[in-house]
């Protein structure tokens, strides 16, 4: 009987191990086809004086606060003068990568005079971009 228990334990351990790769690939949240994130404001190429009001648009998905796991939702991330390179990890959090984990759909930022690039990327409850990533095109604005 003891031997049976041991064999059974080994069997379970081996099956779990063989399942791990599948689990590792499915940690990402799926995005529905046609989901789209975009800037309602500002428009690409705009020249702005003073603080920049940025409005986030989202089609085909909903907004949920960070930490809330709900199908076909995510929260906004605003990327300023930077580019996201790793789409399989949590989006960095600093001055260039701003999180709106409260579910906000707009913000106001103060930017130094000159040209700046802006991009929106949706992240899931763990701040990880979806599969496929839902991101806007990068826009360029000039701050006077
Ligand atoms: Cu986030």
DSSP β-ladder status, 114-123 and 47-48: unpaired
- The alpha carbon of 99 and the centre of ligand 1 are apart by a number of angstroms equal to 4
- The alpha carbon of 118 and the centre of ligand 1 are apart by a number of angstroms equal to 16
Q: Which of 110, 107, 132 is nearest to 121 (CA)?
A: 132
User: Is residue 24 classed as helix, strand or coil in its secondary structure?
Assistant: helix
pLDDT tens string for the chain (144 positions)? 555 555 544 444 444 444 444 454 578 999 999 999 999 999 999 999 999 999 999 999 999 999 999 999 999 999 999 999 999 999 999 999 999 999 999 999 999 999 999 999 999 999 999 999 999 999 999 999
Residue located via tokens 């496929």: 132
DSSP β-ladder status, 73-80 and 62-63: parallel
- The alpha carbon of 126 and the centre of ligand 1 are apart by a number of angstroms equal to 7
Alpha-carbon 137 to chain mean position: 14
- The alpha carbon of 83 and the centre of ligand 1 are apart by a number of angstroms equal to 15
């Amino acid at each position: 009987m003891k031997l049976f228990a041991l064999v059974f334990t080994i069997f379970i351990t081996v099956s779990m191990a063989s399942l791990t790769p599948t689990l590792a690939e499915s940690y990402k949240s799926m995005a529905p086809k046609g989901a789209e994130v975009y800037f309602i404001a500002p428009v690409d190429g705009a020249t702005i004086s003073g603080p920049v009001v940025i409005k986030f648009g989202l089609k085909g998905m909903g907004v949920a606060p960070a930490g809330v796991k709900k199908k076909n939702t995510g929260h906004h991330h605003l990327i300023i003068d930077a580019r996201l390179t790793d789409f399989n990890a949590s989006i960095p959090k600093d001055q260039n990568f701003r999180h709106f984990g409260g579910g906000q759909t707009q913000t106001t930022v103060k930017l130094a005079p000159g040209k700046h690039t802006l991009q929106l990327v949706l992240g899931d409850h763990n701040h990880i971009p979806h599969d496929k990533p839902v991101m806007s095109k990068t826009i360029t604005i000039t701050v006077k």
